[in-house]
Structure 1
């Protein structure tokens, strides 16, 4: 096996006088083992020492060498693929893996989400942002919360700002109509939302009436449903009107 010195023709199992200059692998004889190809490749490497400096013959050798190497790589990939396919994962195991990955993803999202909470105590700043705590595995209703607007997290995202402002103004208008007041928006502190056959938005904001020195702190919840929008409640935190508020 190797190259014959009289015509520099490779005499291995794939040698064919008709396809010396062909680019197709269709006429190559099948190879059964990787060991056989490795042996052929080693022989080819040894035969390179016998090559004369003839450009045409060297190119033919190079072409044949790469053809054998290509078949070698294909055979290796085939055996590797057959090994991986021999032990497929069962459907229940796949479903369990997907479920566990979903749970891990939910945990990662909860770690990043900042939940807006309202403190009804005498805290000078009743609006606090804190990370949600795991509640003994209890699922959040309606798919869990996400931050809709919070300056430190969402920045000046135009869509988030617009949605927060629209929600706050809607809540103020509702409150004014129900309580005969004239509050106007000062600032939106933050907003969280959850998907529930639409979207439930809970937000905190400050608003002030003409003649007032200090702005009042508000909490509101709005349901954006399919084809309808409903203000669930608007509350003033730490204000005497809280007890008389329309719920």
Structure 2
């Protein structure tokens, strides 16, 4: 997997700790959440503008979509990451995004469409279908990816003040849908991505949001395949 440009290169495994620890290449990369809602904690310091413009966020979405498609289609059977979230996406100094940490990844046997296992991962980004049924499919990653798209659009953590004020703490999907139903999309967009935009960019926002909401459908069967999601982002 480490040969893909959007997957962090794995060097090996350290066995000298209490438990096995995977060792990845590090070249100044930082987790995506540092650039979205933890900007003051990024290594360059708060004095530097850590915000991501729309073009950078769109590129990150494309990069991670390509990485997930690779996991789902390039090997003998689909590998489900199962823990897609901003803190597991590293962004390098050139704005290239890479998937990082495959501790909870699981393979689906050839000829099968799902595998049973107890839920692992960040519950707020986890497929509700998987939580309820105990069966994981490639559509579970699609849900988590949709949550990442919503995070890129809004710049909101799941426990931000905006979600608290809207009485939707921990539920970014409900928060977004509340404003979509009122046709107030710009109210939920991160103000940073609105800077300098025009009609074409506004259309990109709407298309991006529509794709994200399809990805976070409650039932896996109602979500698009990851390869389709990646094509929509190109």
TM-score bracket, shorter-length normalisation: under 0.3
Greater RCO, 1 or 2 (C-alpha within 8 Å, sep 6+)? 2
Structure with greater strand share of residues: 1
Instruction: Give me the TM-score of the superposition, normalised by structure 1.
Output: 0.23
Greater Rg by CA: 1
